[in-house]
Each structure stands twice: as structure tokens, then as C-alpha cells.
């Protein structure tokens, strides 16, 4: 190989990556810092160290209520998006070619910004059912989560051995048996990754939840947004830090079980 990269460029690249890392992670670090600062105003660098704001957050009915709503919602969205998205991916993988019209249609919620269908869904729901409800949020979040499940599952199915199912068929396995013993095990890593993404998307989603919110329907991100609009305080930083930690936990599980780089560059 030729002398690959000049030395000064290697140093420049290192500095560049370092600056990019600071730029990308600083907002998260700052929120974590504020959450343990003794100052009752939002301040960074933190002064002293305290868990008082966490006690505050965990004792607040508004935050607790929002947390349970978000958790319920995220779990149900994970189930519905994995079932529907997984089935769709299996169906799509059997089609003759990839990138067809049906696949484009299934992935379209990924391309179209959610604000456009959020406003439409609010208007449609109000016209048909009246006030928005939990089911409206469930439907909305499932629609945006399905494409992620489809993408991760399709990526896994593209690498599978197609003759395995063929072999099962020749050996006389019924449709249900082929699905249960051959196709589903082949889908497993993709379905799992998709399920994690679906949970994460629903738990963190703000746009649809803001449009569909009502006083009895406030998810955790919406609760945080409301507080930020009004006045940021260390308690909201504590809640935000807990949300960051949940994301970190999800990422660690994903990396341990499946490897992140595999789905990152799909």
C-alpha cells in the first residue's frame, strides 16, 4: 500500500473526531450535570452534588403519571409494531424483487415528516371519535415504528439461506410449521432489534404526542417540553437524565445481543 495518510492529516482527523464527539455529546452531559447540581437554578458546570432533584421528580405525580403513560404506550407499540411489521417483512421478502412499490409504501412514514400526518390524524380523530385518547397515540406511534421493524427484519432476511424453507417444504412441513420452525427463527435478530427501536421511538416521540395531547394524555416528552417552555429547572433535568439512562440501557442491550454497527449502516 502507498503511504496512506499524511501525518498532519491524521492529527487533524483526530482533533476533528474529538470536536465532533464533544459537539454531539455535550448537550447530554450538560443535562446530567444540571440534574445533580445543588443550585436551584439551571446551572452548568454543576455546584456541589445532590440527588434532591431526583427525589423531587420521583415524588411528583405529574412526572410519575406521564412516565407510566409513556411506558404503557411504548410496550403496546412494541408489541403491535413487531407483529405487524414482522409479518409485513416476511411478506415483502417473499415478493419477487426488493424496492418494489409495496415496500416503498410500507417505508413511507419514515420519509414523510410526522408533523404532516400528526395534524391529519388529529383532524380525522376529532371528526370521527371526538377527543383524542390513548388509542390515537397507540395508532400514531405504531405507524411510525413499523418501518423500523420492517427494515431491520428485511435486512436479516436478505442474508438468510432461502433453501432452508424449500427443504422443509420438500420434507413435508406444513405452512405453519415452516413459519414457526424456519422463518421465525431466521427473523429473530432483526425482529428483536426492530422491537428495541420501536420501544425507543415511542418512548421518546414528541411531535405526534404534542399534537394528540390533552390534559389527561401527557407523555413524558410532552411533560418535559411543557416544563421547558415554562421554565427549565433541575427537576426536569433529573427526569431528562433518567430518559438518557434508559436510552443507554437499550443501546447496551442492543449491542450485547446483536451488535450495533450491523444495523447502523443498513
Partner 1 sequence: MTDRRETWLFLLPGLALLVVGFIFPIARMLVLSVQGPDGHTVDQFARFFQDTFYPSILWRTVYLSALITAICAAIGFPLAYIMARSGPRVRLWLVIMVILPLMTSVVVRTFGWMVLLSRSGLIASTLRDFGLVGRSFQLMHTETAIVLGMVQVLLPFMVLSLLGVIIRLDPRLEEAARTMGCSFLQTMRRVVLPLAAPGLLAGSILVFTLSASSFVTPALLGGPRIEVLAGSIYKNVTQTLDWNFAAAQAVILFAGIALLLIPYLRLGRRAHG
Contact set for partner 1, span 40-79 (CB under 8 A): 42-45
* CA–CA separation, 213 and 201 (whole Å): 17
Number of residues that bind partner 1 (CB under 8 A): 92
Residues 197-256 close enough to bind partner 1 by CB under 8 A: 200, 203-207, 210-211, 221, 224-225, 228-229, 232, 236-237, 240, 243-244, 247-248, 250-251, 255
Q: Check residue 185 for interaction with partner 1 (CB under 8 A).
A: no
How does 52-67 read in b/e, with b if 16+ C-beta sit within 10 Å? bbbebbeebeebeebb
Minimal distance in Å, beta carbon 134 to partner 1?
14
Candidates 6, 7, 172, 215; binder of partner 1 (CB under 8 A) is 6
* Nearest residue (CB) to partner 1, 13 versus 257: 13
10 Å Cβ neighbour count for 117?
Answer: 19
Cα distances (Å, whole numbers) of residue 222 to 213, 214, 226, 243, 246 = 8, 10, 6, 13, 17
Rg (CA), the chain: 23
Reduced to 3 states (helix: H, G, I; strand: E, B; else coil), residue 18 is helix
Of 41, 59, 77, whose CA–CA distance to 209 is shortest?
77
Q: What does the chain come to in residues? A: 266
Candidates 62, 119, 184, 253; binder of partner 1 (CB under 8 A) is 119
Reduced to 3 states (helix: H, G, I; strand: E, B; else coil), residue 217 is strand
Residue 257 is inside which H or E element, if any?
A: helix 234-257
Candidates 66, 77, 146, 156; binder of partner 1 (CB under 8 A) is 146
Minimal distance in Å, beta carbon 150 to partner 1?
8
Q: Check residue 164 for interaction with partner 1 (CB under 8 A).
A: no
Minimal distance in Å, beta carbon 61 to partner 1?
20
CA 226 to chain centre: 21
Minimal distance in Å, beta carbon 52 to partner 1?
18
Candidates 58, 71, 87, 164; binder of partner 1 (CB under 8 A) is 87
* Nearest residue (CB) to partner 1, 71 versus 207: 207
Amino acid at each position: 500500500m502507498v503511504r496512506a495518510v499524511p501525518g498532519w492529516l491524521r492529527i487533524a482527523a483526530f482533533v476533528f473526531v474529538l470536536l465532533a464527539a464533544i459537539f454531539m455529546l455535550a448537550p447530554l452531559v450538560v443535562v446530567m450535570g444540571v440534574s445533580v447540581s445543588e443550585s436551584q437554578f439551571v446551572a452548568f458546570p454543576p455546584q456541589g452534588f445532590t440527588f434532591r432533584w431526583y427525589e423531587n421528580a420521583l415524588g411528583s405525580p405529574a412526572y410519575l403519571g406521564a412516565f407510566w403513560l409513556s411506558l404503557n404506550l411504548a410496550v403496546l407499540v412494541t408489541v403491535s409494531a413487531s407483529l405487524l411489521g414482522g409479518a409485513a417483512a416476511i411478506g415483502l421478502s417473499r415478493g419477487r424483487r426488493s424496492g418494489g412499490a409495496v415496500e416503498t409504501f410500507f417505508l413511507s412514514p419514515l420519509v414523510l415528516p410526522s408533523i404532516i400526518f400528526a395534524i391529519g390524524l388529529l383532524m380525522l380523530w376529532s371528526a370521527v371519535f371526538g377527543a383524542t385518547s390513548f388509542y390515537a397515540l397507540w395508532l400514531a406511534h405504531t405507524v411510525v415504528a413499523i418501518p423500523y421493524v420492517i427494515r431491520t427484519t428485511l435486512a436479516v432476511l436478505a442474508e438468510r439461506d432461502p433453501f432452508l424453507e424449500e427443504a422443509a417444504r420438500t420434507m413435508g412441513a406444513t405452512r405453519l410449521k415452516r413459519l414457526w420452525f424456519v422463518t421465525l427463527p431466521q427473523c429473530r435478530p432483526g425482529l428483536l432489534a426492530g422491537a428495541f427501536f420501536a420501544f425507543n421511538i415511542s418512548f421518546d416521540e414528541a411531535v405526534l404526542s404534542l399534537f394528540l395531547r390533552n390534559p389527561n394524555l401527557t407523555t413524558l416528552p410532552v411533560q418535559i417540553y411543557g416544563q421547558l417552555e415554562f421554565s427549565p429547572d433541575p427537576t426536569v433535568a433529573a427526569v431528562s437524565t433518567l430518559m438518557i439512562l434508559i436510552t443507554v440501557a437499550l443501546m447496551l442491550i442492543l449491542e450485547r445481543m446483536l451488535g450495533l454497527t450491523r444495523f447502523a449502516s443498513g
